[in-house]
Structure 1
């Protein structure tokens, strides 16, 4: 058995309008858990940033954002829809779902738009886990599902990635063996933070061998960046699978918020009551529609990001450092010393790299930025690693980052 975990995160970080010190401090008891926010990559990246920085200054390669932003077609679509901003325009959501469903050969009823993919991720865990129905996740992996499980009171089983020095893929057999009655098995493909893909045959194995009432939650936030087979066919076949898609990554709409939950209508009906009925911003809908209809957008951006990633990883390897074999817009870099020290030393140069996972304390996550940003990263990384990182940890680090976001319990 793998140990359960208690998701207690460091203090000092906040979404807009909440004290930085109080963001992750929740009192014990059901009332506190009921108010636990839906956490996104933005929150988690901000939580681990060694010091506050003006997002308009320095280089930020710590939140898996796409610095290219929305496509030109998406920008023009948002501008054009603004005069109609006084209307709810619910039909826009229906049209967006229909466009996506037609492109993917799905029924429109199996697609529900949300403000990004964080909401349906959170709601799926709430709907299908409980104190008797655990959550199973990979380690290291995206932490947000564990926060939702904290709300539902579900035990959490963190299963180490298989072949961590190689493919760093989900260990699907171990995930199935972790508990006899999982409510949700979460697979992020490509995985955040490693950027690695789990083979299609392994995902098929999970879907075929999971208990009949277990929901397989497949997070495809980064799927457009790789060549791995997609998982939407499981939905077409009526499997107990919910697939998440977002416009935050390749499409460059992280700050605009749009995504989908795709699954059997009866499964989606269990997650939408948690928050899937609110009107979505018409600007986000317009931008998403324009993005889907731009046939050149995905292959063009995929190549730009892949070229930059491959060049950066090749340079790091030439310098003697190992990285995960990413197919995404992020990768894990083994810095061979406490990652928090390197993160802090880079932050002192206004170079913000991603957070550290407790399972891999000597690795930091690097987001693929623009070619110029990654050249600047090379320069700063060389300077940091050629000198001593001792003494470069800001005074606030022990207070804010002393605890890892998730701590194993024996």
Structure 2
């Protein structure tokens, strides 16, 4: 069985209960020590010994959140019903245990838990950061869940500092309040926003033709990370810090591949054979400049049509938890870009459909109108966009087909610690 105890601030333990079963928190132990407790139980039940004789070495810090179909604002009243959308989180150090799926009906008769999110980090701060991101990228629609509440707990300064006891929730009543009206703002290029426009926000950077598309394709095809740079000289200098076989130099100027680099900026080049397990050092005319210009944001994601729904799910989750959203269009050579604006409008409209009370700036409203004009006719959009025409004339017409393949690469590229890694499912080989 398993024994649960309370830990006092002086280090004393106090018995709570014993369960003659595996505990709900067993994934914490499994991730912390790298063991499979259920498998070990079966071994013992079958008459075998444990597969280890000594307790394995601890590995960092682990946090688990239990996701329930409950409404925290109504004293955690159960919220049974049908799950309409179910998009699981992923990424390094993230584990999900669940029985739920899109179409599953949460019954009203017993335990309302529908998932457990478990995150591991090198220390508590990293585990908290991964949990916060996992909760925001985990989308369940159709029933009320505790995820927005849990995300607020993860961001609470006292919780982050470890100042928690059995009266924590009674004192921190603001955790139960609905967040204030959020903002969804669009900016037409890196020169159009300041630090205050992105500070503390979730920011989506868009360069449909072609950097954000190529980044999503690369990560979906197994690239370890993509590191953006402003110049080709920075790429070459950074490459010296890697073993040559572990890195790929990629970039373009005026649409064409930089001489001497392994790859250009065509999404067709970022195949699994070319990028799997590699770190991509990338510089482009428009996209990477927009990425490196974003400073002080809480989270930065890379959005395009090819990963639209996955990124939209994360932006919606952030907005639902009370976090403002900024959408940055990379533009074309520091000018307005039709295709980036249309994609930004689709994101803004997607957020507004779930949060109609969200406030938008005029740029977001204008982009929404552009998206309504073109709708799903991305072929027409690219044919009328200056950059789309230029790419076709330069011999990259096939790239436009990939860039317009909605949701073909369902990953969420997250820019953190100067590199872009993915959150989301592995792409099938």
- TM-score tier by shorter-chain length is under 0.3
Point out the structure with the larger strand share.
2
Q: TM-score, normalized by length of structure 2?
A: 0.25
Q: TM-score, normalized by length of structure 1?
A: 0.26
Considering Cα pairs closer than 8 Å and 6+ residues apart, tell me whether 1 or 2 has the greater RCO.
Answer: 1
